[in-house]
Amino acid sequence: MTIIDSLYLYVMRKKSVLHPFRHLAILIVAAGLLTGSCGCFYETSEEVIYPATAPNVSVSRESESSTHRTETATPKTAETEEKKTTEEQSAESRCRKLLAQMTMEDQVAQLLMPEIRKWDVGDGQGEQPVTVLPEAVASLLSAYDFGGVILFAENCRDTGQLVTLTDALQQAGAAKQGIGLWIATDQEGGSVTRLSQGTQLIGNMALGAIGSEEAAEQAGEITGRELSALGIGLDLAPVLDVNSNPANPV
């Protein structure tokens, strides 16, 4: 994925981007399943900055908490297709303009995705799971234009806490150039589940054994919508693992 490709996806999904800190594993943003709410171009306003929601789904801040959604079907016509093409061209133009304004350091940073499982806030307790964004981390996020951040189970204590954390990450990440974060996780299902709450789905091997495209699609839809509601726009799943080790516990 080129830098233009990466930025293009950000603009087209509209809203939602970070920095490698000490102890953070640097990941190249090369693959991942885009949930229904991936995004960038984090637009600031008087409203609470919040990651984009799934396409064709209208969600207010209040409706997120009660999970009430209003869906609208958009029929495909020549007019809508033409509008889509125009929007794509406009998005690419914006991406190229933004890219031209970036330094080489900023461009490289857009390809990096650190993790923030634990952090030492200096209170004498050593490294602790990051469930609330530390000021030091927020400052680093505000100083750099990294492509995203990946969250793990240590960061996902409960629903309310996670929404607060992703909101804080986005506000810090958008401080420099207004570009938000790809907030990612590995919500694969089965034994690889990062969220402590929400729908616990079976893993990809079990889905494959069922042999139902409809079941696989439903599992992806559920996962995408739940991650979207939490402010997570990139699911690094499904994955294709070659299970050659009979002792593999996963």
pLDDT tens profile 169-181: 999 998 888 888 9
Confidence bin at 89 (pLDDT 50/70/90): confident
Cα 164 to Cα 133: distance, rounded to the nearest angstrom: 9
Using DSSP bridges, classify how beta strands 182-185 and 148-151 pair: parallel, antiparallel or unpaired. Answer: parallel
**What pLDDT is stored for residue 76 in this prediction?**
62
Residue 96, pLDDT above cutoff 50: yes
Rounded to an integer, the average pLDDT of 1-29 is 41
The confidence band for 55, taking pLDDT boundaries of 50, 70 and 90, is very low
pLDDT at 199: 92
**What's the whole-model pTM score?**
0.65
> What are the DSSP calls for 125-186, one per residue?
S-SEE-SS--HHHHHHHHH---SEEEE-GGG-S-HHHHHHHHHHHHHHHTTTTS---EEEE-
User: Do residues 174 and 44 lie in contact, with contact meaning Cβ atoms separated by under 8 Å?
Assistant: yes
The Cβ-side half-sphere exposure at 176, using a 13 Å CA radius, reads 25
pLDDT score of 242 = 82
pLDDT of residue 231: 96
Q: Which of 171, 192, 188 is nearest to 248 (CA)?
A: 192
Token pair for residue 35?
A: 């949930």
For the segment 126-143, the average pLDDT, to the nearest whole number, is 93
pLDDT band at 45 (very low <50, low <70, confident <90, very high): very low
**For range 97-110, the mean pLDDT:** 89
pLDDT tens for 190-208 read 988 999 899 999 998 899 9
